[in-house]
Each structure stands twice: as structure tokens, then as C-alpha cells.
Chain A
Amino acid sequence: EVQLLESGGGLVQPGGSLRLSCAASGFTFSSYAMSWVRQAPGKGLEWVSVIHGNGGTTYYTDSVKGRFTISRDNSKNTLYLRLNSLTAEDTAVYYCAKEQRGIDYWGQGTLVTVSS
């Protein structure tokens, strides 16, 4: 059974940083691209970033380029998202998701709140 468990969310001040983690199990982690998708309160889904299975290729949505960094540790079956220079507009539930072009599994999400 595929399981994705996010952690690392919380309250952070504007301009602050946070690192999200996603522990994966139930599939061969290194064989799949992994994505982060966020959802602001009361809003729709917004794709954030993707990283290929070997970690060699990454893509980002324009609004987070230069501020967020996606990475993975295939030896630990773990996906990461480093969030820097956070603003109120980054407040959202962040979902870890399996695959790139067609997400097939989602984690339960971790809430990031940016507020002073």
C-alpha cells in the first residue's frame, strides 16, 4: 500500500524558512518522480514543484522559483521541500504527491501558516 506522510509544517514569520519532509513507503521510491502541491485556505489546488526519480531534474511554478528547493534522499525514501523568504501568500496545506504528469497518490498534507 502506497503511503505518503508529510511533516514539518507550522507557523512561521514572514521572511522565514521551513523544511517539509515526506516519508514514502509501499513503492520503489527511486523509480518515480515526486511532486509538491499546495492548497491555500478555501482555494483550489496549485502545483508547486516536481523532482525526477534520480533527483537530476526539477521544475517549479514561477511564484516559488528562487525561494523553494525540492530535493530527495532515495536511501531514506524521503522527499523534501525547503521554503525560504516566505510570505502570507505561501500559507497553505502542502501535499506530497507521487508522480509528475499524472499524480496517482497524495499524502494527507501539512499546514504551513505564514504570519507575524
Chain B
Amino acid sequence: QSVLTQPPSASGTPGQRVTISCSGSSSNIGSNYVYWYQQLPGTAPKLLISRNNQRPSGVPDRFSGSKSGTSASLAISGLRSEDEADYYCAAWDDRLSNLLFGGGTKVTVL
């Protein structure tokens, strides 16, 4: 069981906005940056959001991240079919000295 908690699935129709939550604790999300990764089927993960809300070059502005206290969220606006993928949050945990991943959220475009 992952220490960072994500919903297992989320869905929406093309053009809709989908939000994925990531819940942690004071030793991880509460005191460190949150990162988000997108994993398309059969491929390696790709960095989507760094340092809570920063988009790397090449990531569409449809993707946005936020953090408040011990929780974070990823929002996908203007949902597109190519957004169908697994999404993972991650944060370093100061107590465990481990990098923690959420269990992953599978996004389906209906």
C-alpha cells in the first residue's frame, strides 16, 4: 500500500477537466516538493509537473499542479484522447529517506 494516496481511476469526456488528488503527510508532501509523472501504455514515465506546479518545456499548459498542506493535485483541462495514461505523484519523505510514489491513477477518456 502506497504512502501517497491517489484515486485508482478518473475519467472524462473530451474537453472536460479532470482532477487527480494525492494525499500524504507532514514528512513528505508537507515538507517537500511534489512531482507528477505521466506513463503512456508500454512506455517509461515522463515528468509532467515538477516542484508542485512547474511545467517542463514541452508539457502543454492544459496540465497544472497545485499543493496545499499535505495534499496535492493535478488538473488536466481540455481533456484529449492522448491523455489516456497512468498518472503518478511523488515526493521525498524526510522520515523514511525514501522517494514515495502514489499508487497511480488511470485516466480514461470516454
Which residues of A approach B to under 8 Å, CB–CB? 35, 37, 44-47, 50, 59, 61, 95, 100-109
Contacts and interface: CB of A to CB of B under 8 A. Distances in A.
A35 B35 CA distance: 15
A51 B103 CA distance: 24
Contact of B98 (A61, A102, A108): A61
B88 interface: yes
B55 to A, nearest CB: 12
B58 interface: no
Contacts of A103: 35, 37, 45, 47, 90, 99
Contacts, number: 58
Given A101-B32, A102-B35, A47 B46 contact: no
Interface residues of B, number: 25
A35 B46 CA distance: 15
B6 to A, nearest CB: 9
A104 B49 CA distance: 9
B98 A47 contact: yes
A45 B33 contact: no
Contacts of B68: none
A80 B88 CA distance: 25
Nearest to A4: B44
B56 interface: yes
B90 A102 contact: yes
Interface string B2-16: 100000000000000
A86 B7 CA distance: 31
Contacts of B101: 37, 44-47
